[in-house]
Amino acid sequence: MGKNSKISMFDVCNYTIFALFTLACFFPFYYLFINTISNNDLSSRGLVMYFPKGFHLTNYIQVFKIPGLADATIVSIGRTVIGTVLTVAASGFLGYLFSKPTMWGRKFWYRFLIATMYFNAGLIPWFLIMLKLGMVNNFLAYIVPGIVSPFFIILVKTFIESTPISLQESAQIDGAGHMTIFWKIVMPLITPVLATIAIFSAIGQWNSIQDTVFLITDSKLFTLQFILYRYFQTATSLASLLQAGGGSVNLATIQTATSIRTTVSMVVVIPILLVYPFFQRYYVKGMMIGAVKG
Amino acid sequence: MKANPHHHVYTPVSKKRFHLGDKYQLFLMALPFLLLVFVFSYLPLYGWIYAFYDYRPALPLSQNEFVGFRWFTSLVSNEFQREEVFRVMRNTFAISTLGLLTSVLPVIFAIFLTEIKNAPFKKIVQTLTTLPNFISWVLVYSFAFMLFSVDNGFLNNLLINMNVIDQPLNVLGSDNHTWLSMTLWGVWKGLGWGAILYIAAITGIDPELYEAARVDGANRYRLMWHVTVPGIIPTFFVLLVLGIANFINSGFEQYFVFKNAINMEHIEVLDLYVYNIGIENNNFGFATAVSILKSIVSLILLFAANSMSKLVRGEGVI
């Protein structure tokens, strides 16, 4: 009896602590969301605390009328799609090439690549070189530096090396070139790894703000993340944007600093929430493969 | 379908051609990508030269004044600069130390989560606690702002409604406990994710070990302490070593989004400082000198951590 009550006491504490921490992780998402669909006047006074009040969806339409926001959405989507496609293609192809022991100087070039994971020249030397390369205020700065990613290449190479080589060999005997072998034989095999890479790369691209902070001053190239960051820095200029959304004099739906901040936040987080359930099963696998050294 | 009369002739020829040029062909296909690596990872090392100039990007390098080691010596000789660097290093060390101390939390999280036998509950906990890892720091700041701001934040409304306080607290616009709050945000964002590797490690522990201990009369706590903990210590050690290797790379984004005029004194870590003096204030020569020192120290730490790992486990981490 004594022993049983002691164990259940442990369980009670354990469940409670996990429930509280889980709530703490989830509540901010919920809190922002209910504020975006509630009466904007109540929301800006902080009176929407647990449940939506005065439901409406106008914020999600109004917010895209803010100058620059539609452009930023296009830039964010553009860099995510183009960047992800190129990174996945390059990781797959390089992973394949480096899995070939016959490659000229393979050991050296592989180290040449992997070494970049462990050193970097430093922010300012990097910035000055990027400036010289014309990467400042250039959309390519979002894409090109990230195409070759050592970590992803290790993932692919390790995975290819774990698959039977016989398929590749028989295609080789039939006279297939490397391009054909890669497309027809290796690609279908490594799809699960490429899916993992695509998800990580896309989330990285979508969430990135550092490159915009360092390299971009042209407002046409701002991303959603950067615009959102600026909404928290410049409360006064945000107020002037409100007029742009005008037309409505209804206090419940007129845009406020709070409604803009929360709605843009939701716009930024919704894509993540949408893909999250699908890639959850991939990330553990991805991390386990990554733990194996290349 | 026609039989191919050339088949027997062709196969050996094409096979031979394939093998002759193969090694160069493979290299040539990788070459464009290796060039990208060179340009974006190795070429910036050439930028180290700017640390020896009073550099203005608008002028060609030859027209900039060569200053030798002046930027490096000014770190020590110039009293103002010395104090600045001391403050920045203090912030970096404080935040990194707190980060290392909290690196034990994912271990605890994983051990106690394994004790939860209700599968749906466990699934929900894992799903929702991992989620914050996948959002940007800007979004974390957005959450912080909505929950803790002075005028309409959730916390202030809650506490005022409950009559705990009568004046709103300014959590974000204060420099009290900056290091601690930065650490706690890091924990909030990374705890669930950090626990995944440990949960996987626990899953890999041989169930017979638990059986044997149970037969020997071990209770729940003894099983946790004598079977689970030793099972995940190796994983913890590897991650700890990597944490030490990254001691001065405390990061940029988190501090960049949370910084303001009030908390700058304690939030300005090395990366943020380099950004402020270099890109914000255009003092490129000095900022490059600091960047170089940081890169070198960081490399030394990596090798030290690696040797430590070799000494203890007989295996390195790089």
Alpha carbons A262 and B154: distance in angstroms, whole number? 13
B150 and B261 share one domain: yes
* Triad A184, A186, A189: Cα angle to 5°: 110
H or E element at residue A215: helix A210-215
Residue B295 lies in a domain: yes
Q: Are residues B183 and B284 in the same domain?
A: yes
The reply to whether B275 touches chain A by the CB within 8 Å rule is yes
Look at phi and psi of residue A158 and say left if phi exceeds 0, alpha if psi is from -120 to 50, else beta: alpha
Report CA B92 to chain centroid distance, whole Å.
Answer: 13
Max distance between CA atoms of chain B, in angstroms, equals 96
Q: Do A26 and B128 touch (CB under 8 A)?
A: yes
φ, ψ of residue A163 to 5 degrees: the values are -95, 155
Whole-angstrom distance, CA of residue A77 vs CA of residue B127: 25
On whether residue A125 sits in a domain, the answer given is yes
The Cα–Cα gap between A118 and A170 comes to 38
CB contact under 8 A, A103 and B33: no
Q: Tell me the shortest Cα–Cα distance from A138 to chain B, in angstroms.
A: 15
Is B305 strand, coil or helix? helix
Determine contact: A33 vs chain B, CB below 8 A.
no
pLDDT score of A162: 85
From A88, A162, A170, A44, select the one nearest B149 (Cα to Cα): A44
B215 with B289, same domain: the answer is: yes
Task: Give the mean pLDDT of A208-236.
Answer: 89
Beta bridge partners of B65: B54
In angstroms and rounded to an integer, the radius of gyration of the C-alpha atoms of chain B is 28
Considering the domain architecture, whether residues B215 and B261 belong to the same structural domain is answered as yes
As a whole number of angstroms, the distance between CA B157 and CA A176 comes to 69
**Residue A124 near chain B (CB below 8 Å):** yes
Instruction: Specify if B140 maps to a domain.
Output: yes
In the structure encoding, which two tokens stand for residue B159, read together? 């506490």
DSSP A89: H
Question: Chain A: nearest CA to B174, how far in angstroms?
Answer: 16
B249 vs B237: CA distance, rounded Å: 19
Taking only the tens place, the pLDDT of each residue in B152-204 is 888 888 888 888 888 888 888 888 888 999 999 999 999 999 998 898 888 88
More confident call, B17 vs A154? A154
Q: Specify the CATH number for the domain of residue B251.
A: 1.10.3720.10
Residues B22 and B92 reside in one and the same domain: no
Mean pLDDT across B137-154: 90
B37, part of any domain: yes
Q: Which residues of B touch A11 (CB under 8 A)?
A: 115
pLDDT band (50, 70, 90) for residue A239: low
Cβ contacts of A257 on chain B, cutoff 8 Å: none
Both B115 and B181 in one domain: the answer is yes
In this prediction, residues A62-71 reach a mean pLDDT of 85
User: Is B93 part of any domain?
Assistant: yes
Q: Do B238 and B288 fall into the same domain?
A: yes
Query: How far is A196 from A287, CA to CA, in rounded Å?
Result: 10
CB neighbours of residue A256 within 10 Å: 19
Type of residue at B141: Y
In a domain, residue A155? The reply is yes
CATH of the domain at A140: 1.10.3720.10
The one-character DSSP state at B263 is T
Q: How, if at all, do strands B65-66 and B53-54 pair?
A: antiparallel
Kindly state whether residue A124 falls inside one of the protein's structural domains.
Answer: yes
Q: Considering CB atoms only, which of A49, A102, A228 is closest to B142?
A: A228
C-alpha distances in angstroms, B103 versus B100, B212, B242?
A: 5, 30, 11
Query: To 10 degrees, the CA torsion angle through A220, A221, A224, A229?
Result: -90
Is A107 a member of any domain?
Answer: yes
For residues A261 and A86, which has the higher predicted lDDT (pLDDT)?
A: A86
- Do B19 and B136 belong together in one domain? no
Q: Does B52 touch chain A (CB under 8 A)?
A: no
- The answer to whether residues B55 and B167 belong to one domain is no
Put simply, whether A139 touches B (Cβ < 8 Å) is no
**C-beta atoms of A104 and B23 within 8 A:** yes
Q: Are B292 and B111 in contact (CB under 8 A)?
A: no
Largest CA distance in chain A: 76
Mean residue pLDDT of chain B comes to: 86
B247-266 residues touching A, CB cutoff 8 A? 252-253, 256-257
Q: Structural domain tally of chain B?
A: 2
Q: Smallest Cα–Cα separation from A219: which of A80, A79, A66, A68?
A: A68
ipTM of the assembly? 0.89
Alpha-carbon distance B283 to B54, whole Å? 8
Same domain membership, residue B34 and residue B141: no
Q: Are residues B232 and B309 in the same domain?
A: yes
Tokens of A47: 């009176």
Does A104 sit within 8 Å of B27, measured CB to CB?
yes
Angle (CA) A281 A24 B257, round 5°: 90
A residues 189..208 contacting B (CB < 8 A) = 203, 206-208
Q: Which domain holds residue A159?
A: 86-189
User: What is the structure's pLDDT at A113?
Assistant: 92
Assess whether B274 and B216 both reside in one domain.
Answer: yes
Are the Cβ atoms of B57 and A131 closer than 8 angstroms? yes
Q: What is the pLDDT of residues A131-174, one digit of tens each?
A: 999 999 999 999 999 999 999 999 899 888 888 888 788 888 88
Task: Look up the domain containing B196 and give its range.
Answer: 88-313
Number of domains in chain A: 1
Percent of chain A with pLDDT over 90: 46
- B216 occurs within a structural domain: yes
For A175-201, the three-class secondary structure string (H helix, E strand, C coil) is CCCHHHHHHHHHHHHHHHHHHHHHHHH
Segment B121-145 shows an average pLDDT of: 93
- Three-state DSSP at B163 gives coil
Q: Per residue in B73-118, pLDDT tens?
A: 888 888 888 888 899 999 999 999 999 999 999 999 999 999 898 9
Query: Chain B within 8 Å of A225 (Cβ-Cβ)?
Result: yes
Chain B residues 214-243 within an 8 A CB cutoff of chain A: 220
User: Taking a contact as any Cβ pair under 8 Å apart, which residues of chain B between 56 and 85 contact chain A?
Assistant: 57
